[in-house]
Amino acid sequence: MRKNQVDMITLGCSKNLVDSEHLIRQFLANGYKVQHNADVIDGEIVVINTCGFIKDAQEESINMILNIVESKKRGKVGQVYVMGCLTERFMDELKAEIPEVDGYYGKFNWKKLISDLGKAYYNDPMGGNRSITTPSHYTYLKISEGCDRTCSYCAIPISTGKHRSRSIEDIIKEAQTLVDGGVREVQLIAQDLTYYGLDLYKEHKLPELVERLSDINGLDWLRLHYAYPNAFPRDILRVIRERENVCKYMDIALQHISDPMLKAMRRGTTKAETYDLLHLMRAEVPNLHLRTTLIVGHPGETEQDFAELLDFVRDIRFDRLGAFVYSHEEGTYAYKHYEDNIPLEVKQERINELMRVQEGIATELNAQKIGQTLRTIIDRQEGEYYIGRTEFDSPEVDQEVLIKHTDGTPTLQVGEFYPVEITSADIFDLYGRVVNR
């Protein structure tokens, strides 16, 4: 066990990661050494930031807690603390089942951990309120917390509560600090970008926020994650089209397309409205790359509903697509009102078929990029390859550009942009070479 060392373990989404980065900065300001998601966990203090999204994520979090508690029993680590979405939902059960944990904290009261350790909580410590754990050239910027949606399947509002926007001034200040510290790419994140500003300003403020952020000198790429089709602020399309440093990329969670499923899911939109919005997006923003998320196996999903979903994916040809098998989550509308009546094997067959269709589309779309020269940021070097991304790809979740390091390849710097000609492609990645600037 290493004295005065904190091991921070973050599970789940990028919004959790931002919370961890705030806490890491507090530990550093109090004189601790901090490791994040290290291969070897041996700290005097271990903090696990959990995910409670669906059952698989819950099981991953619980297994991590049990593993660290076992390390504590063997004397390899000291105190163990658990925070995040899982504890927000299941605090009492966790305390009863795993009492060896030294302290449990929810999604929002984790700041109390610092005072419980007898340490000071600093405002704006060390010239910034976060310690970036991503590569130094990109990071995530959370603009709001919580969600006012009532989607049938979703437990997120149980953990996060009502939607609460940060002020534009506060977000601009943080973004400027990040850029001053070397960040060149910012991913805007929230449980729901679409509602940004409605609580504070009584109107949609996402377009104004993005415009003002795009004015920050040195911010090369600004990317939008987690929009909803219902009440979508359409003026954001103008901003994406007009501002060169706003990526031609939109992450919009659609979940399904058949009207019976959209109604059962309580999505507040229809098939026709969804098609209209997607067609508008592509008309307003040339070369816009769309990422979406879909759910299969929601209670009541028929073969006809699923066939409509497949036809929708073939028709729209999403550039990026993720999918989940429906999870019957305690506390949700679906848990209270629907029977989880789709067998697991049917759910699995459906998601496999859906992803086979998407893989074929992704292969075709990638092949169309061969011969194009795309501005590419270098994220890292792995073996004989430099690994980069275009503006159409978000870190961690999307495909990458692989540039082989050969005698003729110039030395590339992580965090820098290069013109890369795409020479070949497969389902998940592009391959290219740097061309003269």
pLDDT tens over the chain, length 437 residues: 888 899 999 998 898 999 999 999 999 999 999 999 998 899 999 999 999 888 888 999 999 999 999 999 999 999 999 999 999 889 999 999 999 999 999 888 888 999 999 998 887 755 568 899 999 999 999 999 999 999 999 988 888 889 999 999 999 999 999 999 999 999 999 999 999 999 999 999 999 999 999 999 999 999 999 999 999 999 999 999 999 999 999 999 999 999 999 999 999 999 999 999 999 999 999 999 999 999 999 999 999 999 999 999 999 999 999 999 999 999 999 999 999 999 999 999 999 999 999 999 999 999 999 999 999 999 999 989 999 999 999 998 999 999 998 766 678 999 999 999 999 999 889 999 999 76
Strands 400-404 and 385-389: antiparallel
Sign for the pseudo-dihedral over CA of 110, 115, 119, 123: positive
Contact present, 388 and 340 (Cβ < 8 Å): no
Give the span between the Cα atoms of 236 and 244, in whole angstroms: 14
Across the strands, what pairs with 258?
Answer: none
Contact present, 415 and 137 (Cβ < 8 Å): yes
CATH number of 2-125: 3.40.50.12160
| Identical fold between 2-125 and 373-434 | no
CATH number of 134-367: 3.80.30.20
Instruction: Please tell us whether the domain made up of 373-434 is placed in CATH 2.40.50.140.
Output: yes
**Which of these, 215, 152, 160, lies nearest to 190 by C-alpha position?**
160
Please tell me the chain's helix, strand, coil percentages from 3-state DSSP, rounded to the nearest 5.
35, 25, 40
Give the span between the Cα atoms of 134 and 129, in whole angstroms: 15
Give the span between the Cα atoms of 178 and 129, in whole angstroms: 10
Whole-angstrom Cα Rg for the chain: 22
Give the span between the Cα atoms of 99 and 109, in whole angstroms: 19
Strands 289-296 and 33-36: unpaired
Give the span between the Cα atoms of 408 and 410, in whole angstroms: 6
**Please, which residues have CB within 8 angstroms of residue 31's CB and are 6 or more apart in sequence?**
4
Strands (E), 163-215: 164-165, 185-189
Across the strands, what pairs with 296?
Answer: 325
Residue 120 token pair: 């000071």
| Amino acid in position 369 | K
| Amino acid in position 54 | I
